[in-house]
Amino acid sequence: MSCDRTFYVTTPIYYVNDVPHIGHAYTTIAADTLALHHRMAGEKVLFCTGTDEHGQKIQSTAQAKGMTAQELADRTVENFRRLWEVLHITHDDFIRTTEPRHEKVVQTIFTRLMEKGDIYKGTYEGLYCVPCETYVPESQMGEGKTCPDCKRPLQPMTEESYFFRISRYQEPLLRYYEENPDAIQPRSRYNEVVSFIRSGLNDQSVSRTTLKWGIPVPGDERHVVYVWFDALINYLTVAGYPDDEERLRTFWPAVRHLVGKDIIRFHCVVWPAMLLALGLNPPRQVFAHGWWTVEGEKMSKSKGNVVDPFEMVDLYGVDAFRYFLLREVAFGNDGDFSELALVQRVNSDLANDLGNLLNRTLQMVERFQGGQVLPGGAADPLDEELLDAAEVTRKAYSDAMERMAFDEALKALWALIGRGNKYIDATMPWKLGKEGQTERLASVLSVLCTVLRQAALLVSPVMPATARTMWRQLGLAGTPEDAGFAAAEKPFPAGVTVAKGEVLFPRIDVESWKEAKAARERDRNLDPDPGEHEEEIAIDDFRKVELRVGRIVAAEAVPKADKLFKIDVDLGYERRTIVSGIREYYKAEELVGKTIIVVCNLKPVKLRGVESRGMLLAAESCRDDSLALLTLDGAMALGSRIH
Ligand code: MSP
Per residue in 310-345, is it b (16+ CB within 10 Å) or e — as a string?
bebbebbbbbbbbbbbbbbbbbbeebebebeebbeb
- Whole-number Å distance between alpha carbons of 58 and 68: 9
Looking at the fold, whether 352 and 462 belong to one and the same domain comes out as yes
Q: Which residues pair with 576 in a beta bridge?
A: 569
Is residue 318 in a domain?
A: no
DSSP H helical ranges for 437-499: 438-459, 464-473, 480-483
255 with 140, same domain? yes
Residues 518, 478 share a domain:
no
Distance, in Å, from the CA atom of 118 to the CA atom of 105, rounded to the nearest integer, reads 17
Q: Residue 355: which of 346, 344, 343 has the closest Cα?
A: 346
- For residue 505, being part of any structural domain is answered with no
- Pairing relationship of beta strands 6-15 and 255-260 according to DSSP bridges: parallel
Q: Are residues 518 and 458 in the same domain?
A: no
Q: Note whether 224 and 54 are within 8 A (CB).
A: yes
Contact 14, 24 (CB under 8 A): yes
Domain boundary, last residue among 272, 290, 308: 290
Rounded CA-CA distance 415/423 in Å is: 12
pLDDT band at 76 (very low <50, low <70, confident <90, very high): very high
State the Rg of the chain over Cα: 31
Residue 552's CB is within 10 A of a number of other CB atoms, namely 25
pLDDT score of 624: 58
Atom 6, ligand 1: which residue's CA is nearest? 232
Taking the centre of ligand 1 as the mean of its atom positions, its distance from the CA of residue 18, in whole angstroms, is 11
Q: Tell me the average pLDDT of the chain.
A: 93
Residue 219 belongs to domain with CATH number:
3.40.50.620
**Least confidently predicted of 18-32, 412-426, 616-630:** 616-630
Q: CA-CA distance, 531 to 308, in Å (whole number)?
A: 14
Overall number of domains in the chain: 3
H-run or E-run covering 611: strand 610-612
Residue 317 belongs to some domain of the structure: no
Average pLDDT (383-402) is 97
Residue 468: give the domain boundaries: 340-489
Burial 571-606, CB ≥16 within 10 A → b, else e: beeeebebbbbbbebbeeeebeebbbbbebeeeeee
Work out which ligand 1 atom sits closest to the CA atom of 298.
26
Q: Are 525 and 390 part of one and the same domain?
A: no
What is the average per-residue pLDDT within 502-531? 82
Q: Is residue 504 in a domain?
A: no
Whether 330 is in a domain gets the answer no
In a domain, 617, yes or no: yes
Last residue of a domain, one of 290, 310, 328: 290
Same domain, 475 and 536: no
Domain identity same for 535 and 440? no
CATH code of the domain in which 520 resides: 2.40.50.140
- Strand, coil or helix: 142: strand
For ligand 1, atom 7: residue with the closest CA: 14
Give the largest CA-CA distance in the chain. Answer: 100
Is residue 280 domain-shared with residue 372, that is, in the same domain? no
Report the pLDDT value the prediction gives residue 1, as an integer from 0 to 100: 37
**Is pLDDT of 537 > 70?**
yes
Same domain, 184 and 236: yes
* Domain shared by 410 and 545, yes or no: no
Cis peptide before 559 (omega within 30 of 0): no
Given 270, 290, 310, the domain boundary residue is 290
pLDDT value, residue 621 = 59
Residue 529 has pLDDT above 50, yes or no: no
Containing 628, the helix (H) or strand (E) segment is: strand 627-629
Give one word for 258, left, alpha or beta, with left for phi > 0 and alpha for psi -120 to 50: beta
Q: Mean pLDDT lowest for which of 131-140, 269-278, 477-486? A: 131-140
Tell me whether residue 181 is in a domain: yes
Of 9, 15, 189, the one to substitute when testing ligand 1's pocket (max ligand atoms within 8 A of C-beta) is 15
pLDDT digits (tens, 9 = 90+) for 144-175: 899 988 889 999 988 899 999 999 999 999 99
Nearest CA to ligand 1 atom 30: 23
Asked if pLDDT for residue 133 goes beyond 90, the answer is no
Instruction: Tell me, yes or no, whether 21 and 164 share the same domain.
Output: yes
Q: What is the pTM of this model?
A: 0.82
Domain with residue 483: its CATH number is 1.10.730.10
| pLDDT value at residue 604 | 83
Same domain for 345 and 241: no
Query: Domain for residue 172, yes or no?
Result: yes
Ligand 1: residues with CB < 6 A are 12-15, 23-24, 26-27, 52, 231-232, 259-260, 262-263, 291-292, 299
* Residue 23 Cα to ligand 1 middle (Å): 6
